[in-house]
Structure 1
Amino acid sequence: MPTQALMTSVDIYCERTDASYWSEPINAITNLSFILAALWGYWIYHRLQRQNGDAKGDILILIALFLAGLIGVGSFLFHTHAQVWSSYADVIPIWTFVAYYLFLAIYRIVGTSLARAFRIYGITLVCIICVLWAFSNLLLATNATEAGGDGLNGSTQYLPGIIALYGFALVLQLRKHAARGWILAAALVFTVSIFFRTIDMDVCSDFPLGTHFLWHTLNGLFIGLLLQALVRFGRKKSVQVM
């Protein structure tokens, strides 16, 4: 992509009124929620590490914590620079975390073998792609022209994630897994979060600040809950913390 195209301004959120760096202060600052989620996860991780006398640590969980914090950095860049290049800085960390966490949840939280985890992971990815394809065709058939190009302010891409999350919560519930409450809580928070992301542009006339900042704040909590499930019940030797 040409450099000039990468520098093109992006204005798709209610709070932004011009192309200046600090035109979305609330949207930018609320990205701290992702950093706090990662720090909360590391605090519990470190606590369990000391409790178990584990000097080696768990690199797989540490990577997940790092990726969670990186979401906040990337989103901050997008809501300050608001250009095409920074949109990649926003999207890439998000989907990297999602892809990584999905595998780690299957492998560590469910507790399958590595080979079985890869099989389930592959099947899940195919299902997600199929759902996205189906939604895309449906939206094209209905000629959706709302902000974001999908009639939902760009939120369609997250719908397969909701389905997968509730499916994962159901599996854990059937297994009576100790992490089931954390995952269900995460799914419920994410559902509310997507609602606020979707209505952001629709409420501009009555609420100029918009609701995208609530998407950030709730997503920080959502990521935090996912990390708690992983840190508490996805370690090499799971230890429950009340």
Structure 2
Amino acid sequence: MDWFSPIDLYCERVGVGLWPEPVNALSNLAFPLAALWAWHVAGQHGQRRLIVVVLCFLAALIGVGSGLFHSFANAWSEYADVVPIWSFVALYVLAAIALVGGAPPGKVARIGVISAAITTVAVSATSGDSAAHSHAADPLNGSLQYAPALVALLVFAAITFWRGHAIRWWALAAAITFLVSLGFRIMDLHLCSVWPMGTHFMWHVLNALMVALLLQGLIRCGPAQSEV
């Protein structure tokens, strides 16, 4: 694998260098802001348990990793982009099962092993090979890789509504936000001729909002720290 060859997958990038995607790079500041909001609310609700701390850290790290990828745009920065994303997804699944669903530790551990395996497969499947192809010929602009995450969000929202859990509206809002963000990701290369900046930055902004909604739901609707 060539770790340093440039990768060009988005409308805004028209050259090689550190700063050809300024909007895509700067829009990742939304993730640390989502993490700071969650951290602040967690303090207000007495919810700064370890798993919440780690999730807030990963939320901020998503922005750092994605910012690196849209700055350097090569194989090593692509891993910096996808590893925090899928790590957040896997850990949030465990947190939701443990804190919201009240699952016993044994079940959480088993699901943790499964989540780790899925995360490893997802990272391997979504990174490291982008330099060898272009999304230009793909009508979905490489977004099919996120279908499992969308399905997981929709299932999570459906289960919380079925159980009447307080987190249900947060989960539904997060699922809808992610669906809209996928739309902006898909449209990016299709609109280059009329909108050279592209729409990928909205993928970042809305994904940060989705992360914020998920964290807020977990913090506000999970059991008090003294109860676990």
TM-score (norm 1): 0.82
Q: Which residue of 1 aligns with 2:186?
A: 198
- Consecutive unaligned residues of structure 1, counting only runs of 5 or more, are 133-144
- Superposed, 1:14-53 pairs within 5 Å as 14-49=11-46
- The Cα shift of 1:105 comes to 1.0
Change (3 A) 1:176 1:226: same
Paired residue total: 217
- The Cα shift of 1:201 comes to 0.6
Whether 1:61 and 2:49 are equivalent positions in the alignment is no
Question: Which structure has the larger Rg?
Answer: 1
- Consecutive unaligned residues of structure 2, counting only runs of 5 or more, are 123-132
| 2: CA distance, partners of 1:39 / 1:177 | 25
Q: Which residue of 1 aligns with 2:62?
A: 71
| 2: CA distance, partners of 1:122 / 1:163 | 20
The correspondence for 2:10, drawn from 10, 13, 18, is: 13
Tell me, what secondary structure is at the counterpart of 2:153?
Answer: helix
| 2: CA distance, partners of 1:213 / 1:180 | 28
| 2: CA distance, partners of 1:27 / 1:213 | 5
Q: Which residue of 2 aligns with 1:213?
A: 201
TM-score (norm 2): 0.86
Residues 100 and 218, structure 2, Cα contact 8 Å, conserved in 1 = yes
What CA RMSD, in Å, does the superposition of the two structures yield over aligned residues?
Answer: 2.6
The correspondence for 1:178, drawn from 160, 166, 169, is: 166
Residues 90 and 119, structure 2, Cα contact 8 Å, conserved in 1 = no
| 1: CA distance, partners of 2:17 / 2:80 | 18
Tell me, what secondary structure is at the counterpart of 2:135?
Answer: coil
- The Cα shift of 1:126 comes to 8.4
Change (3 A) 1:101 1:238: farther
Residues 31 and 72, structure 1, Cα contact 8 Å, conserved in 2 = yes
Change (3 A) 1:176 1:125: farther
Whether 1:156 and 2:144 are equivalent positions in the alignment is yes
Change (3 A) 1:196 1:112: same
State the AA in 1 paired with 2:68: L
Tell me, what secondary structure is at the counterpart of 1:31?
Answer: helix
- The Cα shift of 1:118 comes to 3.6
Tell me, what secondary structure is at the counterpart of 2:9?
Answer: coil
- Superposed, 1:54-203 pairs within 5 Å as 57-119=48-110, 147=135, 151-203=139-191
| 2: CA distance, partners of 1:77 / 1:129 | 21
Identical-residue share of aligned pairs (%) = 45
